[in-house]
Amino acid sequence: MRKIAVTTSAAALVLTSALGAHAADDAKVREQRWTELRQSVFGDKQVEQKDGFLSLDAPVRAEDAALVPMDIKVSNPDQVKGLTLIIDENPGPVAAKIDFGPAGDPGLLRLRTRVNAYSNVHAVAETKDGKLVETVKFVKASGGCSAPVAGGAEGTIGEMRLKVKDEATAGKSAQATLMIRHPNFNGMQKDQVSQIYTPANYIKDIKVTYNDKDVFSLRSDISLSTNPVIEFGFKPEGKGQFKVVANDTSGGHFEKTFDVPVKTQ
């Protein structure tokens, strides 16, 4: 019995060591992938980590890989002029690049994305003095980019809705949610009847202004979800009006304005 116990313990030790080495190898592979992506996206600029400056909230294991929420929070929004969200293992890893204007507030940005494989997700903030600050989260999901698109997006493509959270008050930052109806086909979805891949057609850029001042401009690739939903911050000033302009890769152009009543102090 003792011999069997010792043998079993030794086997367990070997297995544990093997799993540990495999995990270490995975970590090295992920780090190498990020090194390549960082160079490709940001060139030779240094990307640093700064405790408490930037956070990324994403599920550890996604319930739906085609609809993965990503929340980016900035502790000092007045110092930030842009954000980049990168899903390392996606075929198109740069999910969104956002530049904020004078009417924008980078304090909180929420997006819904596709995640194609177990992946590190990086959020990178660009400060107004040109520095880059990163944070990272590991997300377990697979197949999000090739998942079939649910019906209902095509008939009303380009339809927009915008809601302001609570009542906007002049001089205080507020949150709004923009919803755009669009299938966001990325070229990886296969028609279940014909078994033919659906040609790519996805939203490539969105611009939001408030009283003719820029709130944000967003450039995207294939990683935003079907029917994108974007929650963003803005700076109200008296009675206001949003204008949203979006373009897709097939030449679709969509515009809409929204009145935003604002409470004065």
DSSP state of 199: P
Cβ atoms of residues 82 and 98 within 8 Å: yes
Least-confidence region, from 25-39, 46-60, 99-113, 141-155: 141-155
C-alpha distances in angstroms, 247 versus 137, 157, 206, 241, 244?
Answer: 30, 11, 7, 20, 10
Name the least confident of 13-17, 235-239, 244-248: 13-17
pLDDT band of 189, cuts 50, 70, 90: confident
What tens digit of pLDDT does each residue of 192-212 get?
777 788 888 999 999 999 999
pLDDT confidence of 156, banded at 50, 70, 90? confident
Segment 96-100 shows an average pLDDT of: 98
Instruction: Note the pLDDT tens digit of each residue in 32-56.
Output: 999 999 999 999 999 999 989 999 9
Domain residue limits, the chain:
1-44, 46-263
The rounded distance, in Å, linking the Cα atoms of 107 and 109 is 7
Q: Look at the domain 46-263 and name its fold.
A: Immunoglobulin-like (2.60.40)
Choose among 38, 24, 61, 201: nearest CA to 132.
38
User: What global pTM score does this model have?
Assistant: 0.86
